[in-house]
């Protein structure tokens, strides 16, 4: 996030390679020493060199100056990446027949910078590079510009300078007669600034998290998905890293990420294991609340309440689907009862009780029990095959909320004491006897689904409902034995177009993890730091989601008819004229300012000229809350 933050990574590298020399020196002290050394090395001269800077640090590294230089160059090489906007500018200039010259006020060697530019395809044969450390002349005082023009020829008006430093790259060249443009795209945008301010963590962890978000925004490959770079990439990696840190702290050997909400963090955790960044194993296992609860049915009178407790109204048609019963094959008595209730009319608790009483006495009830027993046998065999049942310490990973999945697993496998690591837990979660032990990154109270009105709550509920279920496959309907005699999950069909969109998101999350996992491992050393960073990231992202993220969600998520509340649908619904009335209500009441971020995002999806309402709402927001 800040150029001097590279010194923090250099410190950690030297702490590993030169433990005796760095003993007793903390990260902040090293950063200060490195900054002072650069200032001293530049004293009484226009520019300095990297070797001269490390000569000033001889009191620390002794005869290991070259090792310090190598460590700094290695860190710089790992962190540097092309800027998509500047690449476009260079390509446009090349098409116009312009010669490209790279000019830098920098203590790094010219050969090093040349190699980095060439490796990333930025510098091509015929291009030139002039670095202040090689010529002891700087752009800041103008001497380096004079040197370039003397070397290459031409008049000042033949040159056009693009750079990010207001004085050295814009004002100074203009004063010499060169044309120039001040580039500002490297600065943090509003979301990145808010995220930096919200993070109550170390400078290194703030820098890595915010820097990774900015890196995605400046993606030179042109494939960047703002939903992934702004949120899903860092959030998936932070969630996975939190589970790994908790496993390491609690001496847990294996993590079982539950389908489908655990798919994206599983990709991250699996990468950490495969690259040797952690010894904790990660597995992706299938299961759903429905399949596990159905497999746990042993007594119709006591084990069917979970069906009535599902969100939304329970109808006869929905109840029969839950029980895997065909209406056309029902007995006359059961058919008559279903006709009495009606196909689409909501069932009351009394109606549900009558249905269960009759089912328990009918052949259909015995069919349900037989179906559950077969599913239970296949499910237990599947969980045994994947290692969830057996010796060793393990934990399941899921979004959480009420521990329904863990409760069903505990009922299905009573001999195995379950332990869960969750993204969220509600105060209404199941107790230890029902579900087993559980921990969460974030605890939120959703005692009643209509109580999910505080903005922070429905933002997090939206994460759970719409984003982390981005697996390119359908939900697990149950388990069955295949021809090979092994138990396999049975998955719902998914629309191929939707699966392709979700697969693309998963691929981009994996690309983010491959690029940033080592740095995140270094920047987030404890589970507590991971949790704090995830909370800040999710709060700030859902405070004012970007237009690009909203468009991606609209393409990749099917609208839910059973959303937690009206507000949560703001993520996936487009602009409607009714939103104009919502704006007027907010302005008249001078409250609910938290909703303006969502309204601003929705207005950005509106047709012209209403899309300008998003900018207006963003400017009004500070005065309305």
Please say if the pLDDT value at position 433 is more than 90.
no
**What pLDDT was estimated at residue 276?**
95
Whole-number Å distance between alpha carbons of 162 and 180 = 6
Tell me, yes or no, whether 71 and 19 share the same domain.
yes
Whether residue 19 is contained in a domain is answered as yes
Structural domain count of the chain: 4
The whole domain housing 594 covers 573-623
**What pLDDT was estimated at residue 61?**
93
Whether residue 108 is contained in a domain is answered as yes
Tell me, yes or no, whether 59 and 99 share the same domain.
no
**What pLDDT was estimated at residue 530?**
96
**What pLDDT was estimated at residue 600?**
62
Please say if the pLDDT value at position 429 is more than 80.
no
**pTM value?**
0.84
- Dump pLDDT digits (tens) for 127-158: 999 999 999 999 999 999 999 999 999 999 99
Tell me, yes or no, whether 296 and 364 share the same domain.
yes
Whether residue 206 is contained in a domain is answered as no
**Most confidently modeled of 302-311, 474-483, 572-581?**
474-483
Among the listed residues 83, 329, 85, the one whose alpha carbon sits nearest the alpha carbon of residue 215: 83
**What pLDDT was estimated at residue 424?**
85
- Dump pLDDT digits (tens) for 244-256: 999 999 999 999 9
Tell me, yes or no, whether 108 and 67 share the same domain.
no
Domain end, chosen from 148, 182, 216, is at: 182
- Dump pLDDT digits (tens) for 593-615: 445 555 665 666 566 676 676 66
Q: How confident is the model at residue 376 (pLDDT cuts 50, 70, 90)?
A: very high
Whether residue 111 is contained in a domain is answered as yes
Whether residue 520 is contained in a domain is answered as no
Alpha-carbon dihedral angle through residues 362, 367, 368, 373, given to the nearest 10 degrees:
140
Whether residue 139 is contained in a domain is answered as yes
Tell me, yes or no, whether 31 and 110 share the same domain.
no
Q: How confident is the model at residue 572 (pLDDT cuts 50, 70, 90)?
A: very low
Whole-number Å distance between alpha carbons of 300 and 322 = 13
Find the CATH number of the domain harbouring 131.
3.40.50.1000
Please say if the pLDDT value at position 338 is more than 70.
yes
- Dump pLDDT digits (tens) for 274-302: 999 999 999 999 998 889 999 999 999 98
The 3-state secondary structure of 385-450, one letter per residue: HCCCCCCCCEEEEEEEECCHHHHHHHHHCCCCCCEEEEEEECCCCCCHHHHCEEEEEEECCCCCHH
Tell me, yes or no, whether 70 and 113 share the same domain.
no
Whether residue 552 is contained in a domain is answered as no
Tell me, yes or no, whether 166 and 108 share the same domain.
yes
Percent of the chain at pLDDT above 90? Answer: 60
**Most confidently modeled of 259-263, 266-270, 570-574, 597-601?**
266-270
The 3-state secondary structure of 260-286, one letter per residue: CCCHHHHHHHHHHHHCCCCCCEEEEEC
Mean pLDDT over 502-511 rounds to 92
Asked which of 17-31, 180-194, 300-314, 462-476 is least confident by mean pLDDT, the reply is: 462-476
Give 51's contacts (C-beta < 8 A, 6+ positions apart): 65, 69
- Dump pLDDT digits (tens) for 525-558: 999 999 999 999 988 887 666 666 666 666 655 4
Mean pLDDT over 457-462 rounds to 56
**What pLDDT was estimated at residue 118?**
96
More confident call, 48 vs 448? 48
Domain end, chosen from 182, 204, 229, is at: 182
**What pLDDT was estimated at residue 560?**
37
The partner residues of 425 in beta bridges, in order of sequence, read 401, 443
Please say if the pLDDT value at position 64 is more than 90.
yes
Please say if the pLDDT value at position 119 is more than 50.
yes
Domain end, chosen from 153, 182, 211, is at: 182
**What pLDDT was estimated at residue 541?**
83
Tell me, yes or no, whether 61 and 110 share the same domain.
no
Whether residue 567 is contained in a domain is answered as no
Please say if the pLDDT value at position 77 is more than 60.
yes
């Amino acid at each position: 996030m800040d150029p001097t933050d590279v010194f923090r990574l250099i410190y950690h590298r030297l702490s590993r390679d030169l433990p005796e020399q760095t003993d007793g020196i903390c990260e902040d002290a090293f950063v200060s020493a490195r900054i002072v050394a650069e200032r001293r090395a530049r004293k009484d001269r226009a520019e300095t060199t990297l070797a001269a800077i490390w000569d000033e640090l001889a009191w620390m590294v002794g005869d290991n100056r070259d090792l310090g230089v190598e460590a700094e160059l290695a860190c710089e090489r790992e962190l540097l990446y092309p800027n998509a906007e500047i690449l476009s500018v260079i390509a446009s200039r090349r098409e116009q027949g312009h010669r490209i010259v790279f000019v830098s006020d920098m203590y790094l060697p010219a050969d090093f910078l040349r190699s980095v530019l060439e490796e990333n395809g930025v510098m091509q044969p015929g291009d030139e590079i002039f670095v202040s450390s090689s010529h002891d002349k700087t752009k800041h005082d103008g001497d380096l510009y004079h040197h370039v023009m003397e070397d290459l020829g031409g008049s000042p008006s033949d040159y056009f300078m693009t750079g990010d430093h207001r004085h050295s790259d814009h004002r100074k060249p203009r004063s010499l007669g060169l044309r120039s443009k001040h580039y500002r795209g490297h600065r943090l945008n509003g979301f990145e600034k808010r995220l930096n301010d919200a993070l109550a963590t170390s400078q290194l962890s703030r820098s890595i998290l915010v820097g990774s978000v900015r890196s995605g925004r400046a993606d030179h490959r042109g494939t960047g998905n703002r939903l992934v770079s702004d949120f899903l990439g860092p959030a998936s990696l932070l969630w996975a890293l939190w589970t790994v840190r908790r496993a390491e702290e609690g001496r847990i050997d294996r993590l079982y990420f539950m389908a489908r909400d655990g798919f994206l963090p599983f990709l991250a955790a699996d990468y950490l294991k495969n690259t040797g960044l952690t010894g904790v194993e990660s597995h992706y296992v299938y299961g759903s609340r429905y399949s596990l609860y159905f497999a746990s049915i042993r007594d119709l009178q006591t084990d069917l309440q979970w069906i009535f407790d599902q969100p939304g109204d329970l109808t006869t048609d929905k109840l029969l689907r839950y029980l895997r019963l065909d209406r056309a094959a029902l007995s006359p008595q059961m058919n008559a009862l279903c006709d009495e209730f009606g196909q689409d009319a909501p069932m009351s608790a009394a109606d549900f009780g009558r249905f269960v009483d009759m089912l328990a006495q009918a052949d259909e009830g015995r069919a349900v029990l037989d179906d559950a027993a077969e599913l239970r046998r296949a499910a237990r065999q599947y969980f045994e095959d994947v290692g969830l049942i057996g010796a060793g310490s393990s934990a399941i990973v899921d979004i959480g909320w009420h521990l329904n999945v863990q409760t069903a697993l505990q009922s299905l496998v009573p001999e195995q004491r379950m332990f869960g690591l969750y993204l969220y837990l509600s105060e209404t979660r199941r107790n230890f006897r029902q579900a087993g032990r559980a921990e969460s990154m974030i605890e939120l109270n959703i005692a009643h689904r209509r109580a999910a009105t505080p903005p922070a709550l429905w933002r997090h509920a939206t994460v759970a409902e719409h984003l982390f279920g981005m697996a390119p496959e359908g939900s697990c309907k149950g388990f069955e034995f295949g021809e090979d005699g092994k138990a396999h999950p049975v998955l719902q069909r998914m629309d191929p177009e939707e699966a392709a969109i979700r697969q693309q998101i998963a691929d981009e999350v994996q690309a983010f993890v491959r690029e940033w996992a080592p740095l995140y491992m270094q920047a987030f050393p404890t589970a507590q730091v991971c949790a704090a960073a995830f909370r800040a990231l999710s709060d700030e992202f859902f405070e004012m989601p970007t237009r690009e993220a909203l468009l991606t969600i609209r393409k990749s998520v099917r609208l839910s008819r059973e959303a937690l509340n009206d507000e949560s649908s703001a993520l996936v619904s487009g602009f409607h004229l009714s939103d104009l009335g919502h704006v007027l209500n907010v302005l008249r009441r001078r409250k609910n300012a938290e909703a303006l971020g969502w309204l601003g995002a929705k207005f950005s999806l509106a047709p012209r000229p209403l899309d300008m309402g998003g900018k207006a709402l963003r400017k009004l927001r500070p005065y309305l809350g």
